[in-house]
Amino acid sequence: MRKTTFRIIILLSFTIVILQSCYPGEELTYSDTDIVATFYNKDVNFATKQTFAVPDSIIRIDENGNPVSDPGPFDQQILNKIKSELLALGFAEAAAPANADVLVIAAVTTSTWASGGCYYSWWYPGWYPPYPGWCYPVYYTYKTGSILIAMLNANANEAESGLWIAGINGLLGDSNTSTSSRINRDIEQAFNQSPYLGDGK
Amino acid sequence: MKITNIKFWQLITIAALVILMFSNSYSQRQQWYGALTYSVSIPSGDTKEFIDEIGWRGIGLDYRYLVNKNVTVGLYFGWNVLHKRSEELTQLETDPPGAIYGIQEKTINSFPIMASAHYYFGERKKIRPYVGLSAGGFIMLQRYEIGIFLFDNDQWQWGIAPEAGFVIPVERDFGLILNGKYNMAFTGENAVGKEVNNAYWSINAGFVWEP
């Protein structure tokens, strides 16, 4: 009897270990889903790029890929943040776009995604006897927002037009205040992880 | 603990444990013995490049048949979880080159399934050091998440696991076991499809019946 009890205790201990999730990740907040990716043209000497121009508006694209004329609530904030980051790197704002070494443009798009998965249950609802391991499907939708920032060569005579691009992506659905701070943080991150932009300045 | 999240393979594992621990057949004949261990895994090599954090979740299950007083052959099943959550900048060696920043979740669930052979030094009923080799492979469930993007790669990877350890008798048919294994896969790809040889050390401590 003593041995059986002992074995039960051991079995329960190991069962607790086994029943832990396969994927022990923590819960994510909206801002946790933000990613910032940057790419650059390795053949470009950024020390030769000293002045920039930023258009007054942002390119907005709807979910079908069509341009949207209405401005968004964060457009001006995005433009201001891009300018301040360029200035912080040592760029100077050109008096006119024609005088700039680089043009920096921004585009914003949102997408609604539908997804699904398998929810495992002790038994499949409505079935008897229980069928362990069965799952029933779950469907959900989520909305993502993306900001693209592209630095283009303003001198059309040079072969390389695309110099640098940043892509920012994350889940939407938070409050406007949170979205605003996420935009600032992520644009700042895009420039921080691209220190070569400040070469020679 | 969410009962609703139990998966079929988890139930199978638990059922196997119950059979192993309460079966009388092997204890009567004293030709088989089983070992149940808690397993801590330490990534090495390519696996360490992906997840450089100790995995505290793991379990091992051995079923060994006594060929003679010094040799056993048997089966080894295990489960080791390696996981790392980090917020980091990853340089991309792509063309064009770049970098990506965000919260990353990396997870490997490794399920070694192997045939094993062990040689024991010393005499029964005393502390017995042993060496062994398991050969077979691993079911590797590998996942890499960043932002809303997820890459996963579940596959069988062939490999071996050399081992050394001790069996420490406590009662007539019950004892403790402590061992270290180097789990090494010869084939495979990681979560994003890059060819790798997964490897990790596992330190295992647990109970053995009929030592």
Residue of A1, A2, A5, A21 to mutate for B, most B C-beta atoms under 10 A: A21
Beta-strand relationship, A102-120 and B32-44: unpaired
Burial of B165 (C-beta count, 10 Å sphere; 0-12/13-18/19+): buried
Contact criterion met (CB below 8 Å) for A87 and A197: no
* Choice among A145-159, B60-74, B97-111, B189-203 with the minimum mean pLDDT: A145-159
**Which CATH class name applies to A27-198?**
alpha beta
Q: How far is CA A106 from CA A55, A58, A60, A198, B143, in A?
A: 9, 5, 9, 19, 32
Q: Which residues of A touch B38 (CB under 8 A)?
A: 14, 17
Q: Give residue limits of the domains in chain A.
A: 27-198
Sign, CA dihedral A175-A181-A182-A184, equals: positive
Most confident of A22-26, A117-121, A130-134, B44-48: B44-48
**Nearest by CB to B207, which of A10, A120, A133?**
A10
Query: Is A201 a residue whose pLDDT tops 50?
Result: yes
Q: In chain B, which residues have their Cβ closer than 8 Å to the Cβ of A42? A: 95-97
Q: What confidence category does residue B2 fall into, taking pLDDT thresholds of 50, 70 and 90?
A: very low
Question: Which of A21, A34, A169 minimises the CB distance to B5?
Answer: A21
Of the ranges A97-111, A173-187, B10-24, the best mean pLDDT one: A97-111
Asked whether the predicted pLDDT for residue B26 surpasses 50, the reply is no
Q: What's the CATH number of domain B27-209, 2.40.110.20, 2.40.160.20, 1.20.1290.10, 3.90.950.10?
A: 2.40.160.20
Mean per-residue pLDDT over chain B, rounded: 86
Q: pLDDT digit string (tens) for A60-91?
A: 888 777 888 778 889 999 999 999 999 999 99
| DSSP secondary structure letters along A27-44 | PPPTGGG-EEEEEE-TT-
Q: Does the predicted model carry a pTM greater than 0.80?
A: no
Please state, in angstroms and rounded to a whole number, the distance separating the CA atoms of residues B196 and B153: 12
Which segment of A35-49, A83-97, A136-150, B59-73 scores lowest on mean pLDDT? Answer: A136-150
Residue A162 or A134, more confident: A162
ipTM of the complex: 0.77
Query: Which tokens hold the place of B3?
Result: 């009962």
Alpha-carbon distances, residue A63 vs A34, A148, B22, B135, B147 (angstroms): 19, 15, 60, 52, 20
Interval A107-136 mean pLDDT:
63
> Is the confidence at residue B50, as pLDDT, over 80?
yes
| pLDDT at residue A150 tops 90 | yes
Residue B11 neighbours by CB under 8 Å, 6+ apart? A132, A133
Spatial separation of the C-alpha atoms in residues B116 and B118, rounded to whole Å: 7
Which pLDDT belongs to residue A158?
66
Query: In the predicted model, is pLDDT for residue B161 greater than 90?
Result: yes
Confidence tier at B30 by pLDDT (50, 70, 90): low
Residue A1: pLDDT above 50?
A: no
Cβ-nearest to A38 among B2, B11, B98: B98
